[in-house]
């Protein structure tokens, strides 16, 4: 039976790319994100640095992960315009070791699309927002890598 979807494992591909001597990340996050979540309209800020520039942006969202995705996309699109067409098409989180309660590690998985390709990223952290942020960074890094190839 043919697969309906071909979803690339971006986490695996990025880990392999990052192990190569010649690979250079297209951007770096300066410090980490800042998130203000009032339960109504969360706001995230982030600083992004490339070889040529640095951006400091803020954005809101319908939830904390949406705010983090929006601020990363906003920051990166000013440097890498192709990011505008990237969409998050699926998000899931799973608690590891439920016996740990609120201090349990969380696995986050996100599927991205540029309208033609699909790729997934996975990250784990003790904080769901941090796991989400790390996965978002990887997903956008992968997007820049594959879209610049074309």
Domains located in the chain, CATH noted: 7-149 (3.30.160.270)
Per-residue pLDDT of the chain (150 residues), as tens digits, is 456 789 999 999 999 999 999 999 999 999 999 999 999 999 999 999 999 999 999 999 999 999 999 999 999 999 999 999 999 999 999 998 777 777 789 999 999 999 999 999 999 999 999 999 999 999 999 999 987 765
Strand order in the sheet with 118-125: 7-9, 118-125, 106-113, 87-95
Q: Residue 103: CA atoms inside 13 Å, Cβ hemisphere, count?
A: 2
φ and ψ at residue 80, rounded to 5 degrees: -120, 85
Token digits of residue 11: 């986490």
Q: What is the pLDDT of residue 149?
A: 61
Q: The whole model's pTM is what?
A: 0.92
For residue 21, the SS3 value is coil
**C-alpha span between 116 and 38 (Å, rounded):** 36
Q: CA 76, CA 82: separation in Å to the nearest integer?
A: 9
**Which pLDDT value is given to residue 80?**
95
Question: Which of the 8 DSSP states describes residue 100?
Answer: G
Q: Could you give the CA distance from residue 135 to residue 9 in angstroms, rounded to a whole number?
A: 12
Distance of alpha carbon 122 from alpha carbon 74, whole angstroms = 22
Task: Assess contact for 34 and 42: CB atoms under 8 A.
Answer: no
């Amino acid at each position: 039976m043919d697969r309906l979807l071909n979803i690339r494992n971006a986490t695996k591909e990025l880990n392999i790319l990052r192990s190569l001597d010649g690979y250079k990340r297209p951007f770096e996050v300066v410090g980490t994100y800042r998130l203000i979540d009032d339960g109504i309209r969360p706001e995230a800020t982030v600083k992004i640095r490339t070889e040529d520039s640095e951006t400091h942006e803020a954005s809101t969202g319908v939830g904390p992960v949406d705010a983090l995705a929006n601020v990363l996309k906003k920051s990166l699109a000013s440097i890498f315009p192709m990011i505008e067409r990237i969409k998050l098409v699926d998000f899931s989180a799973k608690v590891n070791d439920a016996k740990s309660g609120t201090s349990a590690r969380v696995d986050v998985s996100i599927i991205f699309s540029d309208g033609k390709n699909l790729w997934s990223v996975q990250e784990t952290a003790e904080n769901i927002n941090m796991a989400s942020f790390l996965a978002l960074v990887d997903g956008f890094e992968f997007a820049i890598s594959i879209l610049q190839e074309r």
